[in-house]
Amino acid sequence: MSDEERDPSGRDAGRAPSNPPRHTRRLSDKILIAFHHACDQGDFEVAEELLRILEMMLTRRPVSPDVNRRKNMESLVAAHERLWLLRHPDANET
């Protein structure tokens, strides 16, 4: 097999991988990480949109019972608080 027929990982480019990639984090966790990354970079518009999407995901009716709902909601509230404090730095002084 030539190098052109392999993808960068060395697998055949035309074949599906035999073991699909494992996803170790939930999509909501990845969005929360991206939110914090946007906050760290000072991109508050992106952070706000990511928070809006996360809120939509966490507040819609779950398909199956979510045992982590309380923890997820606490993370959402903490994220809202972080964004508010970043946008209102004077509020930290009191």
> pLDDT tens per residue, the chain (94 residues)?
555 554 455 555 555 556 777 778 889 999 999 999 999 999 999 999 999 999 999 888 776 777 788 888 999 999 999 999 999 988 867 5
Q: Determine the pLDDT at residue 14.
A: 58
pLDDT at residue 16, rounded to an integer:
56
CA pair distance 26, 62, nearest whole angstrom: 14
Per-residue model confidence (pLDDT) at position 13: 54
Dihedrals φ, ψ of 90, to 5°?
-70, -25
Residue 70, pLDDT score: 85
Query: Distance between CA atoms of 40 and 45, rounded to whole angstroms?
Result: 12
Q: What is the pLDDT of residue 36?
A: 97
pTM of the predicted protein model: 0.67
What's the DSSP call for residue 20? P
